[in-house]
Structure 1
Amino acid sequence: MHTRLLPPDGSKVSEIGFGAWAIGGEWGPQNDEDSLQTLHAAIDRGVNFIDTAAGYGDGHSEMLIAKVLRDRSEQIFVATKTPPAAGPWPPSPYCRWQDRYSAAYLRDNLHQRLTNLGVERIDLLQLHTWTRGWNDDPQPLLVLRQLRDEGKINLIGVSTPEHDQDCVVQLMRNGLVDVVQVIFNLFNQDAAAQILPVAAETGTGVIVRVALDEGSLSGKYAGDHVFGEDDFRSRYFAGDRMQRTADRVAEIRADMDALGLSDDYSMADVALKFVLARPEVSTVVAGMRTVKQVHQNTRTSQLRDLPDEAITRLRRHNWRRGIWYAGK
């Protein structure tokens, strides 16, 4: 497993990180013993970066991670997230930070994160979403800075709202965040316009999520695939979205064949390598819920980088599909 530096403190993190949403729930049935085996397998394969959140099973993902941390001697970097208090998701322009991320709320939530993970300091605490409406009065981030000064947090981050990822550019330039977590994949390449260059300019760490587009860019789902009601992807791929996505995946596969990549790379390999081609990216969080998925995702790090010709050609798959979370 190759490692990369995570600015600004220069932590060495595995370039493939463990996405822990599925082990908390909402991706269909999941057995805790399977989850624990999966976490151990990932660490055995060199993964030392785990990304979780309060909302992943109401802290269940964090508590599973805590069990594994107690059994391992390796130094594991754990990033978690604090959601805003009850209200619209993502926050609307009319939401007040005082109602969603008050100082008292942030302190109480951080205490719960520390308790669930069984640690005295969080390696990286990210606000799970944000709104541009708070950029000129970013008090929640100043509260996190105080908590960092108190030794309860090492790094401060924001996970971008899907509908307005560029809202973090101002935060980066103002030195208010150490790390941003962004969506960047073959279908959604918007981060290449400003977020990634500004991260390089400001020395901000970058974590990429949804690199496999919630599994579609693994190439394993046909257009008629139906997800169970207890899997959030039944909503993400609602209506005709799965068929439309599968058609686009077929076009990527055709490019892989034309570029001579298909013999050595899986579809998931190509999707992950496309993201890792950007030097600003410190780690790509890939969801893992089985040992098999651990082996599939971690093997990518062992493969040679995609040639420049392939990266250039694959950029054509950028898909301006709008915000699916808002409805069909």
Structure 2
Amino acid sequence: MKFGFLFEKSIMLKRRPLGDHGLEVSEIGFGAWAFGGEWGEQSDKDSVGALHAALDAGVNLIDTAPGYGDGRSERVIAQVLASRTDHPLVATKTPPAPGPWPPSPYCRWQDRYSAAYLRENVQQRLQQLGTERIDLLQLHTWTRAWNEDPQPLLVLRRMKEEGKIRLVGVSAPEQDPNSVIPLMQTGLVDVVQVVFNLFQQEPAAELFAAAEESGTGVIVRVALDEGALTGKYKADHQFAETDFRRAYFAGDRMERTVKRVQAIADDVARFGLTERYHLADVALKFALSPSAVSSVVVGMRNVQQVSQNIATSSLPDLPEALLQVLQRHNWHRGVWYAGK
């Protein structure tokens, strides 16, 4: 079923293997966090239109979570999919029970991801999404403190055997992405989701190689650093009170970020690529450059953003020489999600 959203015929949305699980996903995936309203006011009409447009264009991976608007994002996705005949892969998440975020080294999995809690939450995800099986269920965060006794993942794998989950995953904590490598190596997870962008390049150290060796799918998030790497913000930009980025870029963070984004733009200009690649294209192509990456999920709030983001897939890969230069923008800046 088509919904009338037209894109240039030259746009070819490429697909990549999702690890060794026999599935292929669009290299640009749909990030549905904004559907919940945490990125400022968002109408369901715009959300529905954006998702229909993305699916019509060939996107077949949607990433969401119950925390995105207290289930609002999941409900909008369920509404859209109920009206279509295609079957994209929908990835959602189970958050830990209330406690520190990210989990501290002293958190016990029994308090954050007990078997009873996991089963109840997965049942809620099934109901919210209007499905009998979750395509990809990801624990929304993790701590290496649980690696020696990863019982929560054993519970999810039993639910996979029961037919309630197709694939098991973990959304790696941004401050310690390599904490999930042992889980990959022992086959406890089918897919990992990690932050990887021009500023945060730590997964390139070990995680990507471990993913290829273990056949684990890799979903990249925050490829645009919450919009900063598009180059559209000025140093004095202020986000709305309802936009989580107001805290993410609090204090002098936006000013510092903009200076670094300009340095990236200068590198791209030196290679003579400014007219062909927008900064957002460069950021997405960089995130897609490791062969271990299956898909990069990008937030898309309207049809225009869908068109812009999927067009990146048709562009040639960045020159290897430029990729090498862009590695210099790796930035050890701590966990900005905790606020200023």
TM bracket, shorter-chain basis? over 0.9
Residue 142 of structure 2 is aligned to residue 130 of structure 1: yes
Is the Cα contact below 8 Å between 2:19 and 2:212 reproduced in 1? no
Query: 1:164-199: CA deviations, max 9, x gaps?
Result: 111101111121111100000000000000110110
Distance across 1 between alignment mates of 2:90 and 2:156: 17
For 2:104, the aligned partner's letter is S
Unaligned runs of 5+ in 2: 1-12
1:293 to 295, 305, 317: 305
Which of 10, 13, 17 does residue 29 from structure 2 map onto? 17
Question: How much has 1:61 moved relative to structure 2?
Answer: 0.4
| 1:251-293 CA distance string (max 9 Å, x none) | 0111111011111110000000011111100000000111111
Identify the residue that residue 260 of structure 2 maps to in structure 1: 248
Q: Say whether the 8 Å CA contact 2:248–2:338 is kept in structure 1.
A: no
The equivalent of 2:58 in structure 1 is 46
Q: What is the match of residue 201 of structure 1? A: 213
Distance in 1, Cα, partners of 2:166 & 2:77: 18
Letter paired with 1:248: R
Out of 251, 272, 277, the position equivalent to 1:265 is 277
Q: Structure 2 CA distance, aligned partners of 1:211 and 1:275?
A: 6
Distance 1:301 1:327 in 2: 33
Q: What residue identity is the alignment partner of 1:118? A: G
The 5 Å alignment of 1:1-328 reads 1-328=13-340
- CA shift for structure 1 position 325: 2.8
More moved, 142-151 vs 317-326: 317-326
Q: Deviations over 1:49-74 (max 9, x none)?
A: 00000111111101100011111112
Deviation at 1:8, TM superposition (A): 3.0
Instruction: Could you list the structure 1 runs, at least 4 aligned residues long, displaced by more than 4 angstroms after superposition.
Output: none
Cα distance, 1:326 vs. partner?
Answer: 3.6
Pairwise CA RMSD of aligned residues? Answer: 0.8
CA distance in 1, matches of 2:274, 2:46: 31
Q: 3-state DSSP class of the match of 1:223? A: coil
Give, in angstroms, the shift of residue 235 of structure 1. 0.4
Measured in 2, the distance between the counterparts of 1:266 and 1:289 equals 19
Q: Percentage identity across aligned positions? A: 65
Counterpart in the other structure of 2:9: none
> How far apart in 1 are the matches of 2:339 and 2:299?
24
CA distance in 2, matches of 1:27, 1:275: 22
Residue 327 (structure 1) shift = 4.1
**One-letter amino acid matched to 1:50:** I
Q: Deviations over 1:5-26 (max 9, x none)?
A: 1023121110000000001121
